[in-house]
Structure 1
Amino acid sequence: MAILSSNYSLESTYSLESTYSLDSIGLHTGLIKCPNCGQFHSNAMAPHGHAVWADMPKDTVDLTQDLIKMGVYSSEVVDLAKTLTENQLKVSLSQFFRDSLFERSASRNRLILEQPDLEQPDYELNSSNLVDRLCLEVVQEAGGIQAAFAAAFGDRQGELFENTIKTGKFNRRQFLARVLTVAALIMLTNCQKDNTADLTSDSPNDLAQKLEKNQLKIGFMPVTCATPIIMSQPLGFYEKYGLKVELVKMQNWAQVRDAAIAGELDAYHMIAAMPLAISLGLGSARFPIKLASIENINGNAMTAAIKHKNKVKSAANLKGFTIAIPFIYSMNNLLLRYYLAAGGVNPDRDVKLVVLTPADMVIKLANGEIDAMMCPGPFNQTAVAEKLGFIHILSSEIWPGHPCCCLATGQPWIEENPTTFRALNKAIIDGCNYASQSQHRPEIARAIAAPEYLNQPESLVKAVLTGSFEDGLGNTHNVRDRIDFDPYPWKSFSYWITTQFQRWNLMPSNVDHEAIADEVFLTGLARHLAKKLGQTPPTVILRKEQLKYDQFDPTDPESYLQGQIKKHGF
């Protein structure tokens, strides 16, 4: 009955713990769902008859406590869970004491840890007040902060931590959750191996044998934001990981959304806000979409009609304009609204926003149906080249490093094709790293400008990718990061997006920003795969985001939102 393994260690469990989570464990059937193969395996502890379990606690963590008392879990599992919990307390206490010394704020709004212990798993940074909740119980157990400091880093450390785990409600639940996780991870040792770990060394034919499917259809919009998804075909990144990909050119973002919900294709190029909106059922049926990795950061611009070249100097001058955006649930819309509001322009009252494809934006800019457009490349450069408009502001000036587009897949597809999904995500992460290097941009521009992809003049695509471009006002600019490529899906991106969904009444006001981000953004897996590729991704999931007019602190998204509304009136 006991869950045993002779093939595990503290180090390996940390690695596993960052890949698997309690979300993948289903005790309601006495089974454990494997995130690699998507199937349920026996947890080796459920009796054949269900009646015995009928009166057991329904809460998973409470159930774990009863199972420990019943002797279901081996001492190895319990001891390892205890060690993990104590190590978490050590790191948390170091931060807690440091903050207590240097922070003067009574509310102790903790700064985001920029350099945590590299071995600490993601969930230790998920909650803005997790450190406080963990450590206050230690302080209470010790009888004060000074006593806690002395005991935590002295001879009484083991006793203090053990007592805190026993008596502190929050720490106790942390420990019990770890027992369940460790047990599941040990059970999954034989099937947890990353089947794509050696995908850079095998031949394409060998790789194909390891995948659930190797022929994929991926939908994309023909814009420069899709660079990693597009370039990975002609430059061989898909083939490198055993994949044969057919790229399917989509007509608009609504078509992308509908195809994803219907499961028509395998994966999709989406705007970063779309997986959140679709998963929440905003503007469409609710369907679980996962954001696997970010395709590009920055990359958009606002272009105004040439007739306004002597009039538009700031957001305030856009009042009364008809402005085109590509999709309601898009970064284009949210960044535009942010920019307008900061200039005193109410985007719901003082301008008219219309949804158009980027290609149609250029046509309607030419015939005077719109005054400006907030869109991706190369269509801003198309308007400049045809002397139809001028670039008023780059999106990188509104929010440097903002997420733009992403690789997205449906949750059911991931469960059916976990190894293929990892291979695909690796190809995109690898491609992003290649595209991030300036010397490769001209080559990439040539590759993706082709008729089957963007079908645009190479010179215009190159202008966007290299950041050397004309603005339509007689100026030449060199902005290296006009578009850039960083695949890491910061969860603070998600937090900001959902605050703006709230701000503009695109979703209900009662929002759990953390839960939504955890559900949609596969940050831990993206980090894991990047490390497999020899990259050095961030070790935290949140960061403070510096925008043009303010700083977003993801530890307090509601205060940020209310501050925006109070300052601008909307």
Structure 2
Amino acid sequence: MVFASATQTAQKWGNLNCDRAELSDLELKCIICGGFHLTRDHYEFMQTMPQDPVDMVDDLVKMGLYKDNQLWAADGVNAYELRKALFLKTVGRGDPRREQLILALCKQAGGIEHAFAAAFGPKAGLFFADSIRNSRFTRREFLRNLAVGAAMVTLANCGGGSEPVADDAPVDPAATADLEKTDLQIGFIPITCATPIIMSEPLGFYQKYGFNAKVVKMPSWGAVRDSAIAGELDAYHMLAPMPIAMTLGLGSAAFGVKLASIENINGQAITIANRHLGNVNGPADFKGFVMGVPFPYSMHNLLLRYYLATGGLDPDVDVQIRPVPPPDSIAQMVAGDIDAYLMPDPFNQRAVFEGVGFIHMITKDLWPGHPCCAFAASDQWINDNPNTFRALNKSIIEAAGYAQDPANRPEIAAAISERAFLNQPVEVVEAVLTGNYEDGQGNTMEVPDRIDFDPYPWQSFASWISSQLVRWDLQGDGVAAKVIPEQGYDTVGKDIFLTDLARDLAQEVGQTPPDEIYRTEELMFDTFDPADPATYVQQQIDQYGV
């Protein structure tokens, strides 16, 4: 954990003659808290710092990096966490569900302090604090705990986190019967597209269906794919094209994956670095740009290529499109490694929040109601755990239905913004979920369905995705153009997108999904008829040359 700016560090270590130009390669504006943190010399700096927590705190205090108000806040946080741990250990007895109930009751009581006093007496807090101060380890234990507390204060301020939302949903006995497995690990990327998967932990949708499920933050889509193949996760948050690509062996060895339900529709944007403000008005103006997408087999890559081609650009010749993990996107834009990106939120809105970039276009304008991310599991896991899979998918579908209601989105934003999940300021996440946002070009926008949550996996989604995999030949070996037409667009879609199951489960939770499995998709520049994807691809190539 580093608190000093590069200037402070240079001064501390005697390099008083270096100027801001020399320091420019040492620091980078933190995309989390907005401050300046060490970058290139982070490792060397930390090697010179004391390793003992007590000496570390003393050194940082002498450097002036901890102020009195921070120390008092850290002490308070430390006491709170120690009391919370004691309370959960003595009353919760190590049972996660019991502990969750205790935390919910604490919230009803007005907080952990009130509940602690109610359980152990009104003087318990003072006694507990005094017992720490009067122990024979007083100073070193206090400073060690203070270091931990100060770290928590810093991370909390950096992450813009909130208290978890208490879950009071009753367990559904019918849904939890005959579950093959209840302790689950579900991978996710920290983006708003993962809202149903993430919120189901703090808001209790997993628990309702009998699961002790933990969401696992993954660093990249490649890591999600590799963990899926290795069997390290039970289920996953995936980009909508990934199950098709993985099942057909595009971009990896063939590995059967089913798309169980859609997590979000819309919810992406093309964001451009502020250095290009005023110079980009349409797709032709991106010529020569280096552009980021989160993964080759993503709606982001396919939509970006669709858009650029309408401006006469060949996405493989006239621009460079490179995979960028979403959490790295802003830092790469600041560093000048990329000029623009088509990314999931909150990283489009965060670029505006940080003054780094502006939103050129939200993808809802390219294709209203387009799919983006999905809930998925492997063929083998589904076969081994059919009841678990059905109940887990049902919990995600119910969560997506809850997220559809605009009235619930401020609550959801608070629940998923915290450090364990998105680690973003609540106001950034809320701007995305509510559609009330600044675009970085001086405009205040109101787009309620900037992101939306409809879990129904239309077969026409699968057909459009397959058509673009054929069109762009992302592997460069013609496999997609051979395999997909040979198997048939309909066969690929129906084998991988579990539309009928999603409809049944949605109906069970009181939703009203459509009876149809195909629909005509209206995009910005054309209309997609799922009855004839091959003709659609040829028309695109004939019109735009690529």
Shorter-chain TM-score range: 0.5 to 0.7
Unaligned runs of 5+ residues in structure 1 are 1-199
| Equivalent-residue separation in structure 1 for 2:283 and 2:337 (angstroms) | 20
Matched, 1:538 2:514: yes
| Equivalent-residue separation in structure 2 for 1:411 and 1:202 (angstroms) | 30
Aligned to 1:354: 322
User: 1:210 Cα deviation (Å)?
Assistant: 2.5
Task: Specify whether residues 387 and 525 from structure 1 end up closer, same or farther in structure 2 by C-alpha distance, changes over 3 A only.
Answer: same
Matched, 1:519 2:534: no
CA-atom RMSD in angstroms: 1.4
Percent identity for Structure 1 against Structure 2: 55
Give the secondary structure class of the aligned counterpart of 2:271: strand
| Equivalent-residue separation in structure 2 for 1:314 and 1:205 (angstroms) | 54
| Equivalent-residue separation in structure 2 for 1:203 and 1:470 (angstroms) | 41
Give the secondary structure class of the aligned counterpart of 1:397: helix
| Equivalent-residue separation in structure 2 for 1:236 and 1:324 (angstroms) | 35
| Equivalent-residue separation in structure 1 for 2:514 and 2:311 (angstroms) | 34
Aligned to 1:434: 402
User: 1:240 Cα deviation (Å)?
Assistant: 1.0
Opposite residue 317 of structure 1, the aligned amino acid is: D
User: 1:535 Cα deviation (Å)?
Assistant: 1.4
Aligned to 2:160: none
| Equivalent-residue separation in structure 2 for 1:291 and 1:381 (angstroms) | 28
Opposite residue 317 of structure 2, the aligned amino acid is: R
Residues 222-280 of structure 1, C-alpha deviations (whole Å, 9 max, x = no match) = 00000000001111111111111111100000000011111111000000000000000
Q: Is the 8 A contact 1:270 1:407 kept in 2?
A: yes
Alignment of 1:126-275 (within 5 A): 203=171, 208=176, 210-275=178-243
Residues 37-65 of structure 1, C-alpha deviations (whole Å, 9 max, x = no match) = xxxxxxxxxxxxxxxxxxxxxxxxxxxxx
User: 1:368 Cα deviation (Å)?
Assistant: 1.1
| Equivalent-residue separation in structure 2 for 1:553 and 1:275 (angstroms) | 22
User: 1:219 Cα deviation (Å)?
Assistant: 0.2
User: 1:381 Cα deviation (Å)?
Assistant: 1.2
User: 1:201 Cα deviation (Å)?
Assistant: 10
Alignment of 1:314-333 (within 5 A): 314-333=282-301
Give the secondary structure class of the aligned counterpart of 2:251: coil
Q: Which runs of 4+ in 1 moved over 2 A?
A: 200-210
Q: Find the partner of 1:478 among 430, 446, 451.
A: 446
Give the secondary structure class of the aligned counterpart of 1:543: coil
Q: Is the 8 A contact 1:316 1:343 kept in 2?
A: yes
Q: Is the 8 A contact 1:304 1:390 kept in 2?
A: yes
User: 1:367 Cα deviation (Å)?
Assistant: 1.4
| Equivalent-residue separation in structure 2 for 1:525 and 1:460 (angstroms) | 34
| Equivalent-residue separation in structure 1 for 2:545 and 2:172 (angstroms) | 57
Unaligned runs of 5+ residues in structure 2 are 1-167
Aligned to 1:55: none
| Equivalent-residue separation in structure 1 for 2:344 and 2:404 (angstroms) | 18
Q: Which moved more, 1:541-550 or 1:509-518?
A: 509-518
Task: Specify whether residues 207 and 496 from structure 1 end up closer, same or farther in structure 2 by C-alpha distance, changes over 3 A only.
Answer: closer
| Equivalent-residue separation in structure 2 for 1:259 and 1:515 (angstroms) | 27
Task: Specify whether residues 402 and 254 from structure 1 end up closer, same or farther in structure 2 by C-alpha distance, changes over 3 A only.
Answer: same
| Equivalent-residue separation in structure 1 for 2:358 and 2:402 (angstroms) | 30
Aligned to 2:8: none
Matched, 1:366 2:338: no
Aligned to 2:481: 509
User: 1:388 Cα deviation (Å)?
Assistant: 0.8
| Equivalent-residue separation in structure 1 for 2:505 and 2:278 (angstroms) | 49
Matched, 1:554 2:530: yes
| Equivalent-residue separation in structure 1 for 2:362 and 2:371 (angstroms) | 14
Matched, 1:311 2:283: no
Aligned to 1:451: 419
Aligned to 1:144: none
| Equivalent-residue separation in structure 1 for 2:509 and 2:522 (angstroms) | 29
Residues 121-167 of structure 1, C-alpha deviations (whole Å, 9 max, x = no match) = xxxxxxxxxxxxxxxxxxxxxxxxxxxxxxxxxxxxxxxxxxxxxxx
Q: Is the 8 A contact 1:206 1:242 kept in 2?
A: no
| Equivalent-residue separation in structure 2 for 1:255 and 1:355 (angstroms) | 13
User: 1:533 Cα deviation (Å)?
Assistant: 1.3
| Equivalent-residue separation in structure 1 for 2:338 and 2:321 (angstroms) | 9
Aligned to 2:93: none
Q: What is the count of residue pairs matched by the alignment?
A: 371
User: 1:508 Cα deviation (Å)?
Assistant: 2.9
Give the secondary structure class of the aligned counterpart of 1:508: helix
Opposite residue 369 of structure 1, the aligned amino acid is: D
Please give the TM-score of this superposition, normalised by the length of structure 1: 0.64
Give the secondary structure class of the aligned counterpart of 1:392: strand
Matched, 1:382 2:354: no
| Equivalent-residue separation in structure 2 for 1:282 and 1:530 (angstroms) | 31
Alignment of 1:51-200 (within 5 A): none
Give the secondary structure class of the aligned counterpart of 2:184: strand
Give the secondary structure class of the aligned counterpart of 1:455: coil
| Equivalent-residue separation in structure 2 for 1:223 and 1:560 (angstroms) | 32
| Equivalent-residue separation in structure 2 for 1:547 and 1:560 (angstroms) | 12
Matched, 1:565 2:541: yes
Q: Is the 8 A contact 2:171 2:207 kept in 1?
A: no
Task: Specify whether residues 390 and 257 from structure 1 end up closer, same or farther in structure 2 by C-alpha distance, changes over 3 A only.
Answer: same
Q: Is the 8 A contact 1:204 1:239 kept in 2?
A: no
| Equivalent-residue separation in structure 2 for 1:270 and 1:318 (angstroms) | 28
| Equivalent-residue separation in structure 1 for 2:373 and 2:509 (angstroms) | 22
| Equivalent-residue separation in structure 1 for 2:177 and 2:471 (angstroms) | 48
Q: Find the partner of 1:528 among 475, 488, 504.
A: 504
| Equivalent-residue separation in structure 1 for 2:241 and 2:511 (angstroms) | 26
Q: Is the 8 A contact 1:269 1:407 kept in 2?
A: yes
| Equivalent-residue separation in structure 1 for 2:436 and 2:358 (angstroms) | 15
| Equivalent-residue separation in structure 1 for 2:175 and 2:501 (angstroms) | 20
Aligned to 1:344: 312
Opposite residue 538 of structure 2, the aligned amino acid is: Q
